[in-house]
Amino acid sequence: MPYYATVPDSMRERLAELAALLHRCRDTYLRIDEDHHWMVHPSSAAASDLAVFAGTVGVRDDRLVVEAVATYLELAAAHCGGLAGLYDAGEIVASPWPLARSLLESCARAIWILGSDPSAEPAVNRLARAYIDNDLSAEYEKEISEYLQGRQWPAYLAAKERFTRLRAEISTVFPETTGRDFNKRTIHGQVCLGPTDTVLWFFALLAKSAHRPLDPRAPKAVYDLLSTHTHPTLDPVGRRRLFAEWDDGGRRAQTIRLDGIEWLTSLAAMGIYDALSSVYQYCGWEFDIDSEFETMIDRTLPGFLWPSP
């Protein structure tokens, strides 16, 4: 049957433009593999970190920070592709919001691991934050495997072994780490932020880097709005439902508006643009050399990168 919320052709043209921008956000991430193969520049901050990690007793993988950041960026890029697919299909009533929130959470987590200014803090702080997220992921994997499959299943045993090995590695690298520290998600003085606090920290960083005046309450309001659209709620979908009387009965239809979708796209583009530019700088690569990415954002979302005062 046809989709119940009709999207006008003129609106589909705009959705296609927004989808093309999101595809470009995703492709800019994918070009890292093509152009750099995730090999950092020898004079970069990342290269300096790799040298420190390689000389640190107990570290099994000196690329731990780079790989954690790359994984979060890959998640964000995949969500960009998912959003673009929803736009192309006209599925814009509710589905884009959870993807946009997850995209921003992934970008925020990548930059949280790097820190607001990698040159202003020691490399071991980044290593500790990467360990925090690896430990958290390993523990979740172990618990989920146990609850869903039981302790005798190979998947659980493998997850348990990975978790135990990682905990032993962290204790070797940071021997001051206690069981209480692990329970509090704290390693080497670095304290794990939850998803909400990570995004709030990221938004504040974005506002500072862009020199944009920001109401202190705005980051939380933005994240609350994204969360409200992600969890069951009556607003705004219920508010947009229109009931019309027909001879053969009533009909309900959704009124489709683009302003919310354009706002979501701006958030997504802002998040991944800033995350990518920060990672490029950390790894010593030139970002958007030909300015094509920047030009496409400015053409699709005028004034987005350099808003009028």
Please report whether residue 209 resides in a domain. yes
Q: Which string of DSSP letters, residue by residue, matches 230-281?
A: HS---TTHHHHEEEEEETTEEEEEEPP-SHHHHHHHHHHHHHHHHHHHHHHH
Cβ neighbours of residue 239 under 8 Å, at least 6 residues apart?
Answer: none
- Contact between residue 262 and residue 95 where contact means Cβ atoms under 8 Å apart: no
Can you give the residue range of the structural domain that contains 42? 9-300
**Bridge partners of 253?**
242
Please report whether residue 305 resides in a domain. no
Q: Any idea what DSSP says for residue 187? A: E
Residue-wise pLDDT tens for the chain (309 aa)?
344 566 777 788 999 999 999 999 999 999 999 999 999 999 999 999 999 999 999 999 999 999 999 999 999 999 999 999 999 998 888 899 999 999 999 999 999 999 999 999 999 999 999 999 999 999 999 999 999 989 999 999 999 999 999 999 999 999 999 999 999 999 999 999 999 999 999 988 887 766 455 566 777 888 888 888 888 877 766 666 655 555 555 555 555 677 789 989 999 999 999 999 999 999 999 999 888 998 999 999 987 654 433
Per the document, the length of the chain is 309
Supply the pTM of this predicted model: 0.90
C-alpha to C-alpha distance for 6 and 253, rounded to whole angstroms: 9
Number of domains in the chain: 1
Please report whether residue 13 resides in a domain. yes
C-alpha to C-alpha distance for 116 and 204, rounded to whole angstroms: 10
Please report whether residue 279 resides in a domain. yes
Please report whether residue 202 resides in a domain. yes
- Residue 254's nearest CA partner among 45, 5, 32, 1 is 5
Please report whether residue 309 resides in a domain. no
**Bridge partners of 250?**
245
* CA quadruple 168, 117, 263, 24: dihedral, nearest 10: -80
**Rg over CA atoms, the chain:** 22
Which pair of tokens denotes residue 264? Answer: 């979501």
Q: Which pLDDT score is estimated for 227?
A: 87
C-alpha to C-alpha distance for 176 and 188, rounded to whole angstroms: 8
Please report whether residue 98 resides in a domain. yes
H-only helix segments in the chain? 9-36, 45-54, 64-89, 96-114, 123-149, 154-173, 179-183, 195-209, 218-230, 237-240, 259-283, 292-300
Task: Output phi, psi for 214, to 5 deg.
Answer: -140, 125
- Residue 229's nearest CA partner among 238, 216, 218 is 238
C-alpha to C-alpha distance for 206 and 263, rounded to whole angstroms: 16
Please report whether residue 124 resides in a domain. yes
- Helix pair angle (195-209, 259-283), 10° resolution: 80
